[in-house]
Structure 1
Amino acid sequence: MKKWLTLLLGVLLVFVLAACTATDTSSEGSDDSNQESGSDSETKTLMLNNGEEPTSFDPPKGFDSVSWNALNNLMEGLTRLGKDHSPQPATAEDWEVSEDGKVYTFTIRENAKWSNGDDLTAGDFEFAWKRLLDPETASPAAFLGYFIEGGEAYNTGEGSRDDVMVEAVNDKELKVTLKAPTGYFLNIISNPAFFPVNEKVAEENPEWYAEADSFVGNGPFTLAKWKHDSEMLFKKNEEYWDSETVKLDEVHWAMVNDVNTEYQMYESGELDTSGIPADLSEKLLESDQVSITDQAGTYFFRFNVNEEPFQNTKIRKALAMAVNQQDIVDYVTKNKEEPAYGFVSYGFEAPSGDDFREHNGKLVEFNAEEAKKLLEEGMQEEGYDELPEITLSYNTSESHKAVAETMQQMYKENLGIDIKLANAEWNVFLQNQKDLKHQLSRSSFLADYADPINFLESFITDSSMNRTGWSNEEYDKLIEQAKNETDEAKRWEYMYEAEKILFEDMPIFPIHFYNQVVLEKDSVKDIVRHPVGYLELKWADKQ
């Protein structure tokens, strides 16, 4: 059983109690790279790969895996996940929590600055958090602000901006009132969605985040260069309040979405870290340069329940049960992942001491015979003599393609059906998924904060993260109860029951839980990869 979240939540509890009682291409060694970045032989430049073009560096919009890692190192919230993965004081040097656990008062550091030299104020946080919740922003992360009193009402058009209980009491004091006590609130606000925005800069240039020469951040690094769809260069932010801790001078990011090419760049010295190509995993996993760490997240597929034939629950279950998760991790991805038989990953320990995943058991398993039976019953219910054409969609990637082709073969062998495959670049794929234009599509979920409710809240009715068209009143009610329940044992029971309902209706089905398997040069030190969170370069070094 994985215990990392036990430590995280334990430390988080100590924080809360204390507050309550106390009041693509450049090479490191190439002359071109050094000239372009302004480097010299003494410059410490870490060479990383972002995979693809970030969706956005606007905090409430860059809510995805291709934006988070970079954004987390350009900006910083009130709290920041530390080396032990627990929330630590960051832009806020201190905070107090009211006796009822609902009111947080944060003190902003006097030396907190923006990269352009402006003072960072509590007003910048108020501006940013209310903008996150503004329905006009259309942030996919807005639901994270629903813990704040008035947040959901404003975002859903039933309240006003003034009703959101986030207030800059003065330049250095921010007061936040929650709907209910939320023990993991300090963890939630370390998420990039809660980063501040320089109000003055944003009012002068609404597109401040779109180019390197206009970007203004408050994190360990600044955005020195951004050649879209190609590369980025970060430089150490001398205005950062804790700049003395930052050891790297620069971080160069390539944008290569093929793991084989990434590995070749790693071998040639153009990258300091790399993933492992599946066909080399047996050899490379034994390397002393490999790091394998936990990550709270799930690789899964979504059905569009509004598209034939997936309006039928039995047909959805048939396609879910015809996929052999164990074979996919053993023979396709080959990165020592755990096959997933539920949606919430391992690592979340209940008050009883049980791991959530182990307690709730296997909710969907490979069973070809049962899948055939369910398909026949579902087709009979719908009056189908043959299934409507089915297309499985995925975003362009060799690894996603390999999984999709394996599933295509499994459906042929186990159900006797042929499905088509379609791929698109990330931004196009994601928008089509949000617009419910896919029938069956791949997805990934990486936890935003350390609690199972974060996995499950994605599928409430009208959630921007739902993307299936599925709605269940009982499920919605259980999630709402879990978010407002102060008795931890009851709260976990609500979550157990909600996940079971999710799999009774099967709008999604899982393949595997994520881990982080990385090749890393011996010269690289202290990159922190949070199980729940993001890549952290604040403490990184290159020798």
Structure 2
Amino acid sequence: MRKKVALSLALLLVSSSLLAACGGGGNKTADKPKDTKTLNWYMGEEPKTLDYGMDGDTTMIDITKNTQEGLFRFDKDGNPQPALAAGMPEVSADKKTYKFKLRDAKWSDGKPVTAKDFEFAWKRAADPKTASQYSFIMAYLENGEEVTQGKKPVDSLGVKALDDKTLEVKLKAPIPFFLDLVSFATYFPVREDLVKKFGKQYALGPDKMAFTGPFKIAEKKKNLIVLKKNENYWDKDKVKLETVNLHAITETGTALKLYETGQLDWSGPVTGAYLSKYLNHKDKFIPPYASSWVLMFNFKAKRPEVAKFLGNKKIRQAFNLSVDREQLVAKVFRIGKPAGAWVPPQIKVNGKSFRDLYKVEPPKVNKAEAQRLLKEGLKEIGMSAPPELELLINNIQPNPETAQFYKEQLRTNLGVNVKIKSVTFKQRLELTEKGDFELAMFGWGPDYNDPMTYMEFFLSDSPNNRGKWSNAEYDKLVKKSATNPNFEERAQDLIKAEKIFVEDVGAMPSHYNDRLYLVKPYVKGVKWHFIGGDFDLKEAYIESK
């Protein structure tokens, strides 16, 4: 992750102009705000799309969290609170039917937010014709799974606008995290008239969409997204900032330089070698985080010999014993924890840490056992030697250094040669969506606080399961857990399912990520969450000195 990445010419021009504006160095005034109404924020690479019903990459979710709003919104402690809903829903005795009353709220263009906007959004996301990467999250609704699979008509989905202010939702079965779900981007309202008006151009720019949140996107151009306060937001009096400039910067060193010289008020995550310098920085901030990372195998790789090689369980077990996770965290990330399983420690089930209920220690390197398993696996598939494999990464720090670490570990401990293919964040998303990779590093953050948000990722029919690992018993247990009203039995089934995934090495768990950010001391009121987007700027403000 720490290998030097060449910046694009456009990014160099943007960065150079920002650096020049600060007078070429010195940070005597860097801790003093230049403007108490404007915040300059680092967002990594630009989002693939602004259509929150279609996709869910991290940058897009963060932007959506601050420009759109759902029935509920997370408070500072990560608990869902009424937002576009006027209050708590009316819930049936069997806990399968919810009725939400909407408050008086407007879109950024002045049109009222209606229950029909929610009905349209949810049915659009579930419709197979839409091909939403997040269609699976609608499976909890009545007929949700059947609709997303094209087995039932979209209109049979369990959501209906009873009138402009009343939304009725019917669930397949009671679930303990439904209010978390309606706080997530895919459950936010979408305007049918705008989708029809702009067609495939919908949400390609701020002039082709509308906003319900505290901010609206005023401008989108190369390496910069500008947010402005949404004057039609129902709770606008709590919004103190007038402008948020979101800077797309792929090189950590550039972002840190801009932070040190006062051109950014927030920067991070700080990664790799830079962490040595900033671990004890006065502005460091390590928020709650629940990100889990794996090395994913493509079971349907385009080269038949690779698909056959990675499809062998013993060979995957050999991989699992060939990577020193302690060294990966200590030398590359310098923050976080080695992982032996998929669900991170922060995630709870029935009020208890899932990891406490099913403890899995990270595997230790065992070179002799790994090579024995590799040899046996090669014999089982009739191959005399491993093929050279390609590891696909995006070029954002610290991915290049991580890839180098994997490459060296697999060469040294297993005798498997790996070449690295480095592309942009957007290109990586496109290639993995098409299944055009052999090995890839995948991270996942929770959409709600329940193990299901991780477990459904590896269902055979999940669009996020880019490696196409498939296990019938795993699928059975996870899908049963989606509708099981016996929450204790459900927790045990989820444990059984993850045990199947771990023992089969459906993907190779590497680490649970923590993140270190730098935040100027005058930035106040930011809410940090590990669910459904990292930061909430609704009540953020800049303290004047």
Q: TM-score, normalised by structure 2?
A: 0.90
Q: Which residue in the other structure is 1:13 paired with?
A: none
Quick check: 215-224 or 195-204, which moved more? 195-204
- RMSD after superposition: 1.9
Give the corresponding residue for 1:157.
150
Distance 2:482 2:34 in 1: 53
How many Å separate the matches in 2 of 1:220 and 1:67? 16
Query: Given the alignment of the two structures, is residue 431 of structure 1 paired with residue 430 of structure 2, yes or no?
Result: yes
| Structure 2 counterparts to residues 201-220 of structure 1, below 5 A | 201-206=194-199, 207-220=201-214
Is 1:465 the counterpart of 2:464 in the alignment? yes
Structure 2: unaligned runs, 5 residues or longer? 1-13, 23-32
Q: Which residue does the alignment assign to 1:109?
A: 103
Map of 1:4 onto structure 2: none
Q: Does the 8 A contact of 2:348 with 2:449 survive in 1? A: no
101-110 vs 508-517, which moves further: 508-517
1:200 Cα offset (Å): 2.1
1:43 deviates by 5.5
1:126-165 correspondence to structure 2 within 5 Å: 126-165=119-158
Correspondences of 1:305-384 after superposition (within 5 Å): 305-307=299-301, 308=306, 309-334=309-334, 336-351=335-350, 355-362=353-360, 365-367=363-365, 368-384=367-383
1:42, CA displacement in angstroms?
A: 5.6
Question: TM-score normalized by structure 1?
Answer: 0.90
- Report the number of matched residues: 509
Contact 1:266 1:274 (C-alpha < 8 Å) held by counterparts? yes
SS in structure 1 of the partner of residue 228 of structure 2:
strand
Q: Does 1:449 align with 2:443?
A: no
Three-state SS of the structure 2 residue aligned to 1:326 is: helix
* Aligned ranges 1:408-423 → 2 under 5 Å: 408-423=407-422
Deviation at 1:359, TM superposition (A): 2.8
Report the residue type matching 1:381 in the other structure.
Answer: E
Matched, 1:298 2:292: yes
Aligned residue for 2:290, secondary structure, equals: strand
Question: How far did residue 375 of structure 1 move?
Answer: 0.9
What's the CA shift for 1:41?
A: 6.8
Identity rate of aligned residues, in percent? 34
Higher mean Cα deviation, 140-149 or 59-68?
A: 59-68
| Correspondence for 1:280 among 274, 284, 291 | 274
How far does residue 488 in structure 1 lie from its aligned partner after superposition? 1.8
SS in 2 for 1:238: coil
Per-residue deviation, 1:270: 1.5
Deviation larger for 355-364 or 521-530: 355-364
1:238-276 C-alpha deviation (Å, 9 max, x unpaired): 100000001111100111112111111111211111122
CA distance in 1, matches of 2:35, 2:378: 67
Offset at residue 469 of structure 1 (A): 1.8
1:363 to partner: Cα distance: 6.0
2:112 matches 1:119 = yes
The reply to whether residue 488 of structure 1 matches residue 487 of structure 2 is yes
**Aligned mates of 1:52, 1:273 — CA distance in 2:** 15
1:68 aligned to which of 44, 61, 66? 61
Matched, 1:266 2:259: yes
Alignment match, 1:540: 540
Residue 191 (structure 2) aligns with: 198
Q: Which residue of 2 aligns with 1:81?
A: 74
What's the CA shift string for 1:95-129, capped at 9, x where partnerless?
2111110001111112x000000011001111111
Instruction: Report the secondary structure of 1:421's partner residue.
Output: strand
CA distance in 2, matches of 1:348, 1:223: 32
Equivalent position amino acid for 2:429 in 1 = L
CA distance in 2, matches of 1:348, 1:66: 22
Alpha-carbon distance in 2 for matches of 1:375, 1:354: 38
Partner SS, residue 490 of structure 2: helix
Preserved CA contact (<8 Å) 1:208 1:216? no
Note closer, same or farther for the CA distance 1:408–1:48 as it changes in structure 2 (3 Å cut).
same
Contact kept, 8 Å, 2:391 with 2:439, in 1: the verdict is: yes
Say which is worse superposed, 364-373 or 418-427, in terms of deviation: 364-373
How far residue 411 of structure 1 moved from its aligned partner, in angstroms, is 1.1
CA separation in 1, counterparts of 2:520 and 2:143? 48
Once residues 108 and 386 of structure 1 are traced to their aligned partners in structure 2, the CA distance between those partners, rounded to angstroms, is 63
Deviation at 1:354, TM superposition (A): 5.1
- Structure-2 change in CA distance of 1:140 and 1:262 (3 Å): same
Q: Which amino acid aligns with 1:53?
A: E
**Residues 41 and 313 (structure 1), Cα distance of their counterparts in 2 relative to 1, 3 Å cut:** closer
In structure 2, how many angstroms separate the alpha carbons of the residues matched to 1:280 and 1:176?
Answer: 48
Per-residue Cα deviation, 1:364-385 (whole angstroms, up to 9, x for no partner) = 5132232122111111112222
If asked which structure has higher relative contact order (CA below 8 Å, sep 6+), I would say: 2
SS in 2 for 1:398: coil
Q: Deviation digits for residues 164-218 of structure 1, max 9, x if unmatched?
A: 1211000011000000011100001111111111222222222231112233111
